[in-house]
Amino acid sequence: MPNLPKPRLRRSARAGRLVAPASEPKERKPHVETITAEGLRWVNIESPSPLECAWLEEQFGFHALDLEDVLSRNQRPKIDEYPDYLFIVLHFPVFDRAVGRLNAGELDMFVGPDYLVTIPNQPLQPVQYLFERCRQKEELREQHFSKGSGFLLYRIVDDSFDYCFPMLRKIGNKLDAVEDEIFSGRSEEVVRGISNVKQEIINFRKVVRPQRTVLRDLESKKQRFLAAREGDDLEIYFDDIVDAHERIWDMLENYKEVVEALDDTNESVISHRVNDILRVLTVISVTLLPLTLLASIFGMNVRVPGQGSIAAFWIVVAAMVVMLGGLLTVFRRRGWL
């Protein structure tokens, strides 16, 4: 078994051997999937347990702290450089149907000259899809594996970022639907829709933002371990990943501005609707006020002109109708109705 590599940066104090816990059944074997072609080995382990981490340490001699990071669920995106390999942690947005929101799916990767180990902490569809295609199609294996671990890493990361664009288009469709509903009069549904889209954009930004530094570091550190075979230059490929990340970030910035504008527009529509209601109520109150005053005067328990006369009653009614008509005419001319 090879010696544990010494990290170039930090991480020197608490390195210890990682072993499978005693609670693991003895008959259980590590759940590891492997594809080998063109002198390159791709190992994929989904949702690893300490048993799989112990297998990784035995087979590759990875640093114990990296294996602890694999088991941890609170890792930030990063790239650690060692004498024999790179340890990369990336996050990608995953829609959790159980809670109906976007979460961060973590993908841990060990990259060496002749191997690539991918360890998603939950099923990532782009990684699963590419792994199955490479396992089933020999032509695809030759195309991806013959160019070295660097090109295979590029394909995995690029497919994972490309998977973000359909999710972004769904967010864009939700924004279009919210825009159509703003003027439909369903304020509660619109406010709830805006809140949901806002939350999705915020969660998406929280996943994507920390990747910037990691991708830049990967672009600068790829030469040592990720040199492509057959004389290919990987720089253009990793530049493409950075460009895809920037496009995703630009779309999120645009969606952020759009949802804020829709929120302001919805508030304005609600405010105008409330003002219209208050205007109608005010007109009704103002028109009824003089009529109520006139009726109150002639309804007092004192003697008034025309008391007991039917003609006086019709005169009062006529005066009230004239006052009402005059007030409505004034309001209409002023544009209040």
Structure tokens that stand for 92 in this block: 């990608």
Query: Which pLDDT score is estimated for 116?
Result: 92
Query: pTM for the whole thing?
Result: 0.74
Distances (CA, A) of 316 to 264, 287, 304, 328: 50, 16, 12, 18
Query: Which pLDDT score is estimated for 109?
Result: 92
Query: Which pLDDT score is estimated for 227?
Result: 55
pLDDT in tens, 230-287: 556 677 888 888 899 999 999 999 999 999 998 888 888 888 888 878 887 877 787 7
pLDDT in tens, 152-190: 998 999 999 999 999 999 999 989 888 888 877 677 778
Helices (H), 94-225: 125-136, 138-145, 148-162, 164-181, 187-208, 211-225
Q: 255-258 long-range CB contacts below 8 Å, 24 or more apart?
A: 255/168, 255/171, 255/172, 255/175, 255/197, 255/201, 256/201, 256/205, 258/175
The beta strand positions in the chain, using DSSP E, are 33-37, 40-44, 78-81, 86-96, 101-112, 115-120
- Domain boundaries in the chain? 33-268, 282-333
CA distance 218 to 223: 9
Query: Which pLDDT score is estimated for 337?
Result: 67
What tens-digit pLDDT sequence spans the chain (337 residues)?
Answer: 344 444 444 444 444 444 445 454 555 677 888 999 888 899 999 888 888 888 988 888 888 888 888 888 778 888 888 888 889 999 998 887 776 778 888 899 999 888 999 999 888 899 999 999 998 888 888 888 888 888 899 899 999 999 999 999 999 998 988 888 887 767 777 888 888 899 899 999 988 888 888 888 776 665 665 655 555 667 788 888 889 999 999 999 999 999 999 888 888 888 888 887 888 787 778 777 877 877 777 777 667 776 667 777 787 788 888 888 887 787 777 776 6
Query: Which pLDDT score is estimated for 105?
Result: 87
Could you confirm whether domain 33-268 is CATH 3.30.460.20? yes
Query: Which pLDDT score is estimated for 302?
Result: 67
Query: Which pLDDT score is estimated for 108?
Result: 92
* Strands 78-81, 40-44: pairing kind: unpaired
Query: Which pLDDT score is estimated for 8?
Result: 43
DSSP state of 27: T
Query: Which pLDDT score is estimated for 225?
Result: 59
Residues with Cβ within 8 Å of 65's Cβ and at least 6 positions away in sequence, in order, are 7, 11, 14, 15
Give the CA angle between residues 40, 44, 45 to the nearest 5°: 150
Which H/E stretch holds residue 281?
A: helix 235-298
